[in-house]
Structure 1
Amino acid sequence: MPATGNAIVGQSGGPTTVINSSLAGVVDAASRSRKIGRIFGMRFGIQGVLEDFLLDLGKEKEETLKALRSTPSSALGSSRLKLADEHFAPILDQLKKYDIRFFFMVGGNDTMDTIHRIVEYAAEHGWEMTGVGVPKTVDNDLFGVDHTPGYPSAARYVALSVLQAGLLARDMQRVDQFVVFQTVGRSAGWLPAAAACARSKSLTAPHVILLPERPFMRDRFLAAVKEAQEEHGFVSIVCGEGITNPDGSPVSASSTTDNFQNVEFGAMGGASAAMILHRIISDEFGWRGEFQVTESLQMCAADRAVRLDIKEAYACGRQAVKLAVKGHGGVMVTIERGRGKQYKAEFGTIPLGEVANKERPMPDEYIADGGMDVTPEFLKYVRPLVGELPEYANLKIKRARV
């Protein structure tokens, strides 16, 4: 049986619309457990432990914790600190000081690596502590899951943005002939792929979807752009921020990296794939157009949150505590898709060591031949997560006669 004591929870990496719902789930379940005394929160991730800056979450009002479920961003504050050897001893000293026996973090693959290493170090030095990871990433690239909390809401943000930008591009085609929308997601194409949900009987956009899982082929891309413009009068293009050339170099031309050696995209990288694509199209065809790079907005848009996403994130937080108090540590909570025609989430686990520093790209069966679109199989996967999108009115475009 695990030792009784206090619990600590932190948030790490980029924010999501629902990461605070997971935090609320952890706090709620921990406060109800007889094995857990106090529940502390790390201020700015693991840096809060190193700096002795912890919050007493047990003192928060019930209405605050309830409101936390629908609050975007990372309420505790986040961090991207990469642990070095010299960090472990002072971290363990702080964990002992606060009698931490249950260690939770909400984050992605780098965060799971952090939990794994800290818990292993504690065990090697005689400190019994149970660590469980709560999944989070809008990129949807965590290994061993159907999807991650945060992805459904971010995917909906992308789909709605491309839907509305597509209407604008269609109606402004006499002014601007194309629009390029860039998503976050690094080297995974799950978010740009979700833009395909924007298509309907009345809107053909997006016409081209560029995924990081396939190399950017300039000539094929330009041919697809020209074909779409000739057929529809305008072109809607969606790209993942991490698309690469055939030689593996970023289309964004960025060479900047963060502390985990991940390539920086968008403003932090000093360039963007969308900007480069805009230039390529303008140079080739002489068209006017625009590029849209919303960056972190798609990671914390509470006004576009998916209710299912909020509920699943909260459930993941609660599940992590249930596992920990039963002594089932060294794992990350997973969301799995139940069998049957109707979507249903089920919860499982995967060892932290199998998740840490790994990525899950889109599988080939979700990517259309030619590499610039998705398949019906992907739409079947993603639509239950994104939810219904609005249908907008369309006039009958037919020249009047006298």
Structure 2
Amino acid sequence: MKHGNLVIGQSGGPTSVINSSLAGVIEAALESGSFDRVLGMNFGIEGLMEERFFDLGKQGREVIRGLRSTPGSALSSSRHKLQEEDFPRILEVLKKYDIRVFMLIGGNDTMDTVHRVEAHCRKAGYELRGIGIPKTVDNDLFGTDHTPGFASAARSNILNVRQGGVLARDMRRVDQFVVYQTIGRDAGWLAAATALARQQEGDGPHLIYMPERRFTTERFIADAEAAYAAHGWVSVVCGEGITYPDGMPVSASKTQDRFSNTEFGAMGGASVALQLHRMLREHFGWRGEFQITESLIMSDAARREEQDAQEAYECGRKAVSLALDGVSGVMVSIQRVSDNPYSIELGTAALEDVAVRAKPMPDTFINETGNYPSQAFIDYCTPLISALPEFTRLEDKMV
């Protein structure tokens, strides 16, 4: 199979480590000497159709090295949903630039793009290796133990909830509760990760609601009342995508993106945190706060997990290795070998098994009442997060 040129792009939301994967691809491709040029799609698949390319082989070594610690999407991202009428143009550009390796770094929808482009070229008789590189803070990709970007975003959320919990605990005579909303449209991995914020009994979060379990107002009010009785204040974490038993989003959002996914937070004009805040205020008369995180935690470079960044980099290098071996139609995957000591191996997952689908948290990762992650999830998540700062409190020695 011809090597020709390699093209790489980034799609979907940014993370603090997606550029580390990009650096891995560039360095491995250039080191191989197997490609005439290494190109970068400016604005993802849209940039390819518009012939907007970075010549990545002409980038300085310090620039490529610097990508490993730079958040955001250096190539600029896209959320374009492929249409049938796009394929003739895509094939035309691939042929024009003799592109024989097509890569995208991204999540479920991105893997669908790689899968469809690779399949179209195969049907048209054009030799092309299509390989996906995993990226999503939501951690909802099938075929991989976890996704690059998740651990860093989890750490950011964990620290936010821990610090917010200290504030809420100390201000409980003024504010009786705090509600913190994480991103995660269909899966509760990020919301669940905030359980690691607890240092000792009584710390927040007390309640965590994930999209994998249907939400009821009655259960929530009872949960909050019990938490308040036990601790004198309530810390709630909610995933943005939680729904009522009939499937209606708790956020009340009906806005959809180009992939027919419900938009939450600022984009949707509604939020789960605001709704839960209203429920507690109206039922109990409590005063409280709500906190909503969006893209800031996705690209929080100050709280990036170095292990996460290294794994992202290795995924990029692995993608090039697979392409040079003639592999196509796969996504690079992370397979966990051991928890203690933590170790992984890189493998592959078929794109057709990954595309468009979202991987929910297993039932065993959620407690029976559906308002907190289980110990099994804590055991899964703990090796991904480095040591957290310890906060102290005064001893109970009153006059």
Task: Say whether the 8 Å CA contact 2:103–2:132 is kept in structure 1.
Answer: yes
AA at the equivalent of 1:149: P
Alignment partner, residue 167 of structure 2: 168
User: Residues 78-227 of structure 1 correspond to what in structure 2 (within 5 A)?
Assistant: 78-201=77-200, 204-227=203-226
2:76 is the counterpart of 1:77: yes
Q: CA deviation at 1:34?
A: 2.8
Q: Partners in 1 of 2:258 and 2:2 — Cα distance?
A: 34
CA distance in 2, matches of 1:227, 1:350: 44
Say whether residues 1:62 and 2:61 are aligned partners.
yes
1:245 partner SS = coil
Task: Determine the C-alpha separation between the residues in 2 that align with 1:363 and 1:165.
Answer: 28
Contact 1:306 1:386 in 2 (8 A): yes
Give yes or no for the alignment of 1:345 onto 2:324: no
CA pair 224-340 structure 1, distance change in 2 beyond 3 A: closer
* Separation in structure 1 between the aligned mates of residue 3 and residue 48 of structure 2, nearest angstrom: 20
Contact 1:166 1:203 in 2 (8 A): no
The Cα shift of 1:217 comes to 1.5
Q: Alignment partner of 2:47: what SS?
A: helix
Offset, 1:202: 6.3
Deviation at 1:397, TM superposition (A): 3.4
What SS does the corresponding residue of 1:347 show, helix, strand or coil? strand
SS in 2 for 1:338: strand
1:119 and 1:74 mapped to 2: Cα distance?
23
Aligned to 2:390: 391
| Count of paired positions | 399
Q: Deviations over 1:359-398 (max 9, x none)?
A: 1100010100100011111101001112211111211133
Contact map agreement 1:205 1:235 (CA 8 A) in 2: yes
Q: Distance in 2 between matches of 1:214 and 1:351?
A: 28
Residue pairs, 1:262-273, within 5 angstroms = 262-273=261-272
Output the CA distance in 2 between the equivalents of 1:124 and 1:364: 40
Counterpart of 1:42 in structure 2 is: 41
The secondary structure found in structure 1 opposite 2:222 is helix
Q: 3-state SS of the aligned residue for 1:284?
A: helix
Secondary structure of the 1:229 match is: helix
- Corresponding residue of 1:51: 50
Q: How far is the alpha carbon of 1:230 from its aligned partner?
A: 1.9
CA distance in 2, matches of 1:305, 1:202: 27
2:305 partner amino acid: V
Q: Shift in Å at residue 340 of structure 1? A: 5.9
- Give the letter aligned to residue 240 of structure 2: E
Larger mean CA deviation between 141-150 and 90-99 belongs to: 90-99
Q: Would you say the 8 A contact 2:339–2:383 is kept in 1?
A: no
> In the alignment, what sits opposite 1:309?
308
User: Which residue of structure 1 aligns with residue 6 of structure 2?
Assistant: 7
Does the 8 A contact of 1:45 with 1:76 survive in 2? yes
Verify the 8 A CA contact 1:109 1:142 in the aligned structure 2. yes
The answer for the alignment partner of 1:328 in structure 2 is 327
1:222-261 matches, cutoff 5 A: 222-261=221-260
- Aligned mates of 1:333, 1:69 — CA distance in 2: 18
What residue in structure 1 maps to residue 372 of structure 2? 373
Instruction: Give the Cα–Cα distance (whole angstroms) in 1 for the partners of residues 233 and 23 of structure 2.
Output: 45
1:94-142: per-residue Cα shift (whole Å, max 9, x none)? 1111110111100011111101111111122221111110000000000
Amino acid paired to 2:326: G
Q: Distance in 2 between matches of 1:274 and 1:167?
A: 19
Structure 1 residue matching 2:180: 3-state secondary structure:
strand
**Distance in 2 between residues matched to 1:254 and 1:107, nearest whole Å:** 25
Q: Does 1:319 align with 2:325?
A: no
- TM-score normalised per structure 2: 0.99
**Alpha-carbon distance in 1 for matches of 2:170, 2:36:** 60
AA partner of residue 288 (structure 1): R
| Cα distance in 2 between the residues matched to 1:220 and 1:339 | 37
What's the secondary structure of 1:243's corresponding residue? Answer: coil
The offset of 1:399, in angstroms, is 2.1
Code of the residue aligned with 1:198 in structure 2: it is A
Shift of 1:35: 2.1
Identity %: 56
Q: Residue 300 of structure 1 corresponds to which residue in structure 2?
A: 299
Once the two structures are superposed, residues 211-260 of structure 1 have per-residue CA deviations (whole angstroms, 9 ceiling, x without a partner) of 10001121111111111112211110000000000111100000010000
Hey, what's the Cα distance between the residues in 2 that align with 1:366 and 1:300? 26
CA contact (8 A) 2:338 2:344 kept: no
Deviates more, 1:64-73 or 1:198-207: 198-207
Matched, 1:22 2:21: yes
Task: Please give the TM-score of this superposition, normalised by the length of structure 1.
Answer: 0.98
Post-superposition offset of 1:50: 1.2
Q: Is the 8 A contact 2:185 2:241 kept in 1?
A: yes
CA RMSD of aligned residues (A): 1.0
Gap runs ≥5 in structure 2? none
Give the superposition deviation at 1:175. 1.0
Structure 1 regions of 5+ residues with no counterpart?
none
